[in-house]
Structure 1
Amino acid sequence: MGRHEQPEIKQRLLDACTDHALQHGLPERLQPFVAASGASARMLLYHFGTRDALLRAVLGQARNRQLDLFGELLRSRPGEAYTVTLDRAWTTMTGPRGRPYLRMFGQLRESGEQRWWPGFRREATTDWLPPLEQGLRSVGRPEWATLVLAVLRGLFLDLDATGDTDRADRAFRDFLELLDATAALAPPARGH
């Protein structure tokens, strides 16, 4: 007779492995996850099947955390200009809470192989559009979501490549000033 599933143990192991991967990156071997979780390799494989299945589970868990965090950051708030919301979101996304996600998923996006998450690039390109559209609707410009997302992604790549936080911060704040000025001048686009 086999052992019964123990979802609470599996979740604890997954949380520990996800925390480790966000802090240190995805390991090439199982041993760092063994050390981080306090479990044996055999226990990890029992719960996840293979190392690749564990890596996919870690990526999924990290992505859910990122979607929750970034989604909340991008949500419009009554009585607050959306550019203020975007500025706060940028600060958190590029700060200590958000950088691990940018690093992890930036590496995954750059991977031509995509074996752990087929279709990730497409998903990662479109999953932020709904919260941005909703937020930009508050200024009558939901169609700007693609533009804002492109600027964010470009500056994330720049920041990752150069580490020049001051320049990237300045560029994003300049962009927000342009958004404010343009929103004040132009009537909202039709059909949105």
Structure 2
Amino acid sequence: MAHGLIGLSLRPAAEAIGVSHATLLRHFSSKEELVARVMEKVRDDLTERLRTDAAHLAARTGAEQIEAVWRILCEPAEQRQFLRLFEMVAASGHPGGADEDLTRSLITDWLPLITPGLEREGWPESDTVALATMVLAQVRGLQLDLIVSGDRPRADRALQLFLRGLRHTPADGPV
């Protein structure tokens, strides 16, 4: 997480954590598998944190849930993890880049965490996966903007405007 994925090699990674290259290879068949397991751990850690976060637990709507997650995602450690995620996505666009299944999982693994809040918001089940995709894209785009610009007030305001459009009641009918 500290040094990024570009130029990552198992030998220096093993040395940095105080184990041999062979030890890493006994646990991970390749650099890609190591990265995949690290990203799974990042997702699992965030999911576990959300299970105990007071603001996330108190959220009555999908918009409030997203606000609680945004607050967590703007912490420095989470920002560093997002930077690695963006490196993986960028690498997936190049021949021999990131593992296709891994990059696909960066979307498919997160959608089930978003859809329940949207259903509580009153969105019909037929729209929640597409809407969760839009939420994920918006949050990740704002995270990228925040990492590049450092302008938290602007990113926060952009999220608030997005959430204003997201608020929905069953009376609004299908989109």
Q: Aligned match of 1:122 in 104, 123, 132?
A: 104
CA distance in 1, matches of 2:107, 2:136: 8
The 3 A distance-change label for structure 1 pair 106 and 186 is farther
* Paired letter, 1:101: Q
Percent identical:
30
Mapping for residues 74-113 of structure 1, pairs under 5 Å? 77=57, 80-111=60-91, 112-113=93-94
CA distance in 1, matches of 2:154, 2:79: 16
Aligned to 1:10: none
CA distance in 2, matches of 1:77, 1:188: 27
Is residue 122–residue 169 contact of structure 2 (8 Å, CA) maintained in 1? no
Aligned to 1:7: none
Is residue 30–residue 41 contact of structure 1 (8 Å, CA) maintained in 2? yes
CA deviations over 1:137-162 (Å, ceiling 9, x no partner):
01111523232122112212322333
Q: Aligned match of 2:149 in 159, 162, 169?
A: 162
* Paired letter, 1:57: E
* Paired letter, 2:32: R
Question: Which one has a bigger Cα radius of gyration?
Answer: 1
Q: Aligned match of 1:33 in 4, 13, 20?
A: 13
TM-score for the superposition, normalised by structure 1: 0.68
Secondary structure of the 2:2 match is helix
Secondary structure of the 1:98 match is helix
Task: Compute the RMSD of aligned alpha carbons.
Answer: 3.0
CA distance in 2, matches of 1:67, 1:41: 26
Q: Which of structures 1 and 2 has the larger relative contact order (alpha carbons within 8 angstroms, sep 6+)?
A: 2
CA distance in 1, matches of 2:59, 2:25: 50
Instruction: List gaps (5 residues or longer) in structure 1.
Output: 1-21
CA deviations over 1:84-108 (Å, ceiling 9, x no partner):
2211101112212322221111101
Aligned to 2:132: 145
Aligned to 1:62: 38
Decide which structure has greater helix share.
2
